[in-house]
Amino acid sequence: MRPFDYRRAGDVAQATAAAGDATAAYIAGGTNIIDLMKLEVSTPARLVDISRLPLHRITQTQDGGLRIGAMVSNSAVAADMAVRQRYPLLARAILAGASGQIRNKATVGGNLLQRTRCAWFQDISAACNKREPGAGCAAKDGPNRMNAILGVSGHCIAAHPSDMAVALRALDAQIEVTAADGATRLVAMDDFYRLPGDAPHLETCLAEGDLVTSVILPPPTAETQIYRKIRDRASYAFALVSVAAALRMQDGRIAAVRLAFGGVAPRPWNDPAVEQLLIGQPPSKDLFVHAGEALVAPAIGHGGNDFKITMVQRLLAAVLREASE
Amino acid sequence: MTETLKLDGPSREALLDRAAQGAIGRGLDRPEGPLKVTGQAGYAADARLDGMVHGVLARARQTGTITDHRLEALKAMPGVVLVLTDGIPRNPAQGAVPTAPPAADGVAYTGQPTALIVAERFEDAWHAALAYDPQITPVAHDLDPETAATVETPEDKQRADDGWQDTWDAAPTKVDVTVTTPSLTSAPMEPHAAIAMWEGDQLTLRGGLQMLKFNRKSLADALDMPVAKIRLLAPYVGGGFGSKLGVAQEAVAAALAAKQLGRPVSVVMHRRQVFEATMRRSESRQRIRLACDDAGIIRATAQEYRVSNLPGEAFSEPVARADRAFYATDKLKITHEIARIHRMAAGSVRAPGEAIGIPAFEMALDELAEAAGIDPLELRLKNTVEADPISGLPFSSYPLADTLKAGAKAFGWQHRPPRQQQEGEWWIGQGLASAIRGHFAAEAEARVSLTAQGAIVETDQTDIGTGSYAILRQITGEMLGLDPADVEVRLGDTAFPPAFGSGGSAGAASSGTAVLLACRALRKRIAASLDAAPDDLTLKDGHVIHGNRRTALAQIVPQEGWCEQGHVAAGDISDKVRTTTCGAMFAQVAVNAVTGEIRVRQMHGTFAAGRILNHKTATSQCHGGLIWGIGMALMEELHHDPRDGAVVNRDFAQFHIPANADVPPLSVDFLDAADDWGGPLGALGLGELSISGAAGAILNAVHNAAGIRIRDMPATPDKVLDALDKLGS
Q: Which residues of A touch B656 (CB under 8 A)?
A: 232-233, 237
Q: Which residue of B has its CA nearest to A317?
A: B594
Count Cβ–Cβ pairs < 8 Å, chain A vs chain B: 83
- In whole angstroms, how far apart are CA B456 and each of B27, B450, B490, B668? 21, 7, 7, 32
- In whole angstroms, how far apart are CA A263 and each of A145, A151, A224, B450, B718? 10, 12, 22, 64, 14
d(CA B595, nearest CA chain A) in Å: 6
- Mutation target vs A (from B80, B107, B636, B648; most A CBs, 10 A cutoff): B648
Residue B1: pLDDT over 80:
no
Contact B425 A237 (CB under 8 A): no
Non-local CB neighbours of B316 within 8 Å, separated by 6+ positions: B154, B157, B282, B307, B309, B336, B338, B346
pLDDT digits (tens, 9 = 90+) for B538-578: 999 999 999 899 999 999 999 999 999 999 998 899 999 99
Binning pLDDT at 50, 70 and 90, where does residue A136 land?
Answer: very high
* B337 φ/ψ angles, rounded to the nearest 5 degrees: -110, 135
d(CA B59, nearest CA chain A) in Å: 10
d(CA B662, nearest CA chain A) in Å: 5
A43 touches chain B (CB under 8 A): no
DSSP A193: B
d(CA B466, nearest CA chain A) in Å: 26
In angstroms, the CA B612 to CA B626 distance is 18
pLDDT digits (tens, 9 = 90+) for A240-278: 999 999 999 999 999 999 999 999 999 999 999 999 999
* Interface list for chain B against chain A, based on CB atoms closer than 8 Å: 59, 61, 123, 126-127, 130, 133, 425, 594-597, 599, 634-635, 639-643, 648-649, 653-654, 656, 658-662, 716-718, 721-722, 725
Of residues A3, A143, A232, nearest to B648 (C-beta): A143
Non-local CB neighbours of B166 within 8 Å, separated by 6+ positions: none
- Mutation target vs A (from B80, B144, B589, B654; most A CBs, 10 A cutoff): B654
pLDDT at residue number A223? 83
pLDDT digits (tens, 9 = 90+) for B357-407: 999 999 999 999 999 999 999 999 999 999 999 999 999 999 999 999 999
Residue B301: pLDDT over 80:
yes
d(CA B659, nearest CA chain A) in Å: 6
d(CA A107, nearest CA chain B) in Å: 19
Contact A240 B718 (CB under 8 A): yes
Residue B215: pLDDT over 80:
yes
- Mutation target vs B (from A1, A233, A238; most B CBs, 10 A cutoff): A233
- For residue B714, cis peptide bond before it (omega within 30 degrees of 0): yes
* Residues of B with catalytic roles: 688
User: What proportion of chain B, given as a percentage, has pLDDT over 70?
Assistant: 100
Contact B721 A1 (CB under 8 A): no
d(CA B67, nearest CA chain A) in Å: 19
Of residues A117, A143, A311, nearest to B653 (C-beta): A117
The CATH code that applies to domain B2-41+441-570 is: 3.30.365.10
Q: Which residues of B touch A234 (CB under 8 A)?
A: 597, 599, 659, 661-662
A40 touches chain B (CB under 8 A): yes
Mean pLDDT of chain B: 97
Domain A5-49 is in which class?
Answer: alpha beta
* Distinct helix (H) and strand (E) counts, chain A: 12, 11
* B550 φ/ψ angles, rounded to the nearest 5 degrees: -120, 115
Q: Which residue of B has its CA nearest to A142?
A: B641
Binning pLDDT at 50, 70 and 90, where does residue B729 land?
Answer: low
Of residues B123, B133, B658, nearest to A233 (C-beta): B658
Contact A307 B718 (CB under 8 A): yes
Q: Which residues of B touch A3 (CB under 8 A)?
A: 123
- What is the widest separation between alpha-carbon atoms in chain A? 63
pTM for the full predicted model: 0.97
Contact A233 B596 (CB under 8 A): no
In chain A, domain spans: 5-49, 224-323
pLDDT at residue number A263? 98
User: What proportion of chain A, given as a percentage, has pLDDT over 70?
Assistant: 100
Non-local CB neighbours of B591 within 8 Å, separated by 6+ positions: B426, B427, B429, B597, B598, B702, B705, B706, B708, B720
Of residues B594, B643, B658, nearest to A141 (C-beta): B643
In angstroms, the CA B421 to CA B635 distance is 24
DSSP B712: B
Contact A315 B594 (CB under 8 A): yes
Percent of chain A as helix, strand, coil, to the nearest 5:
30, 20, 50
Of residues A3, A124, A234, nearest to B661 (C-beta): A234
Contact A117 B654 (CB under 8 A): yes
In angstroms, the CA B98 to CA B371 distance is 49
Binning pLDDT at 50, 70 and 90, where does residue A20 land?
Answer: confident
Contact A119 B649 (CB under 8 A): yes
Mean pLDDT of chain A: 97
pLDDT digits (tens, 9 = 90+) for B476-524: 999 999 999 999 999 999 999 999 999 999 999 999 999 999 999 999 9
Strands A46-49 and A24-27, by their bridges, are: parallel
pLDDT at residue number B607? 98
pLDDT digits (tens, 9 = 90+) for B256-275: 999 999 999 999 999 999 99
Percent of chain B as helix, strand, coil, to the nearest 5:
30, 25, 45
In angstroms, the CA A167 to CA A177 distance is 19
Residue A56, burial from CB neighbour count under 10 angstroms (0-12, 13-18, 19+): middle
In chain B, domain spans: 2-41+441-570
What is the b/e burial string over B254-281, where b = at least 16 CB atoms within 10 angstroms of the residue's CB? bbbbbbebebbbbbbbbbbbbbbbbbbb
In angstroms, the CA B630 to CA B714 distance is 9
pLDDT at residue number A107? 98
In angstroms, the CA A77 to CA A163 distance is 13
The CATH code that applies to domain A224-323 is: 3.30.390.50
Residue B68: pLDDT over 90:
yes
pLDDT at residue number B358? 98
Q: Which residue of A has its CA nearest to B595?
A: A230
A56 touches chain B (CB under 8 A): no
Residue A1: pLDDT over 90:
no
A140 touches chain B (CB under 8 A): no
Q: Which residue of A has its CA nearest to B719?
A: A307
d(CA B126, nearest CA chain A) in Å: 7
d(CA B649, nearest CA chain A) in Å: 7
A309 touches chain B (CB under 8 A): no
- Tell me the mean pLDDT in the region A280-290: 98
**CA torsion, ordered B368, B371, B372, B374, to nearest 10 deg:** 80
Q: Which residues of B touch A124 (CB under 8 A)?
A: 130
Of residues A117, A230, A234, nearest to B662 (C-beta): A234
Query: In one letter, which amino acid is A234?
Result: A
pLDDT at residue number B570? 87
A136 touches chain B (CB under 8 A): no
pLDDT digits (tens, 9 = 90+) for A205-224: 999 999 999 999 999 987 89
Binning pLDDT at 50, 70 and 90, where does residue A58 land?
Answer: very high
Residue A287: pLDDT over 70:
yes
A100 touches chain B (CB under 8 A): no
Nearest to A42 by CA among A112, A122, A100: A122
Q: Which residues of B touch A42 (CB under 8 A)?
A: none
Q: How many residues comprise chain B?
A: 729
Contact A232 B127 (CB under 8 A): no
Q: Which residues of B touch A305 (CB under 8 A)?
A: none
Nearest to A113 by CA among A47, A9, A206: A206
Decide if A308 contacts A263 (C-beta within 8 A): yes
Contact A237 B59 (CB under 8 A): no
User: What proportion of chain B, given as a percentage, has pLDDT over 90?
Assistant: 99
